[in-house]
Amino acid sequence: MKFRFVQEHRETFRVGKMCEVLKVSRSGFYAWQGRQPSRRIVEDEAISVQVRRAHREAHGIYGSPRIYRLLRRQGQSWGRHRIARIMREEGLRARCMKQFHWISTTRSEHPAAPDLLQREFSSTRRDRVWVGDVTQLRTGEGWLYLAMLMDLHSRKIVGWSTSSTPQQEITLEALTMAVETRRPRPRPDPPYGPRKPVQLRSLPGPSR
């Protein structure tokens, strides 16, 4: 009955997707039709199992380029275009994350932090003053959020963290990296400022 359903609806739906939903194999469907599936079809079926597993383990946020690189690291040698084709046939794509906006304290109810540097963005000593920022970068697989800390004396990035979701924790991770790698001496004045803190605010609706 399942194979007959696939046969009757193959002009409307993809054979691979129907077989996946009905939990039957494509090779079994072609055998039911009375013809031997090609070696490529059998290989594609085996590859699709690995692709679906990788996509599921990535919580659906990976597109074909990152799935391809993930499988390469696992020792698979399938081509990038083949992975992309199988993902299209299986209806697998990167899931768009809910959009968030970093809102300045000037637009929120929280009081702004004091300007400790008085707009003087320079330092005569290393690791005396760090400044930071959070930005979002558009990639082929969705937004990437990047938090960075820069030492005002050397102008070097001393800490950073990334995330596929806008979590406030990435600012703390960037600060932790900076402290662990630079190991600044304790001082009575804080080395971090003068940027005002930010909050995460979710704006409902797909168009916001």
* pLDDT tens-digit series, residues 138-166: 777 777 888 998 888 888 888 989 888 77
Residue 156's φ and ψ, nearest 5 degrees, are -100, 150
Task: Please indicate, yes or no, if residue 208 is contained in any of the structural domains.
Answer: no
Is residue 23 a part of any domain in this protein?
yes
Please give the backbone phi and psi of residue 90, each rounded to the nearest 5 degrees, phi first: -90, -5
The structural domain count of the chain equals 2
Domain shared by 16 and 70, yes or no: yes
59 and 133 assigned to the same domain: no
Is residue 95 a part of any domain in this protein?
A: no
Q: Which of 90, 123, 158 is the last residue of a domain?
A: 90
Q: Tell me what pLDDT residue 45 has.
A: 82
What's residue 199's pLDDT?
41
Report whether pLDDT(192) > 70: no
CB of 16 closer than 8 Å to CB of 89:
yes
Is the same domain home to 83 and 153?
no
Per-residue pLDDT at 68: 92
State which of 46, 62, 90 marks the end of a domain: 90
DSSP secondary-structure letter at 110? Answer: S
Tell me which of 90, 118, 147 is where a domain ends: 90
State residue 102's pLDDT score: 54
What is the pLDDT at residue 71? 92
Domain check: are 57 and 22 in the same one? Answer: yes
Residue 54, in any domain of the structure: yes
Residues 133 and 198 in one domain: yes
* Residue 154, in any domain of the structure: yes
Q: Distance between CA atoms of 163 and 146, rounded to whole angstroms? A: 7
Put simply, whether the predicted model's pTM sits higher than 0.85 gets the answer no
Same domain, 48 and 112: no
Residues of the domain holding 20: 2-90
Residue 207, in any domain of the structure:
no
Q: Are residues 128 and 34 in the same domain?
A: no
Which residue has better confidence, 84 or 101?
A: 84
In a domain, 112, yes or no: yes
Residue 6 clears pLDDT 60, i.e. is over it: yes
List pLDDT tens digits, range 35-70.
Answer: 777 788 788 888 988 999 999 888 888 888 999 999
Residue 130 has pLDDT above 80, yes or no: yes
Q: Is residue 18 part of a domain?
A: yes
Question: Which range scores top for mean pLDDT: 73-77, 90-94, 122-126, 139-143?
Answer: 73-77
| Pair (76, 169) in one structural domain | no
Mean pLDDT of 24-32: 79
Contact 108, 198 (CB under 8 A): no
**Mean pLDDT, range 4-22, rounded to an integer:** 81
Give the Cα separation of 25 and 8 in Å (integer): 16
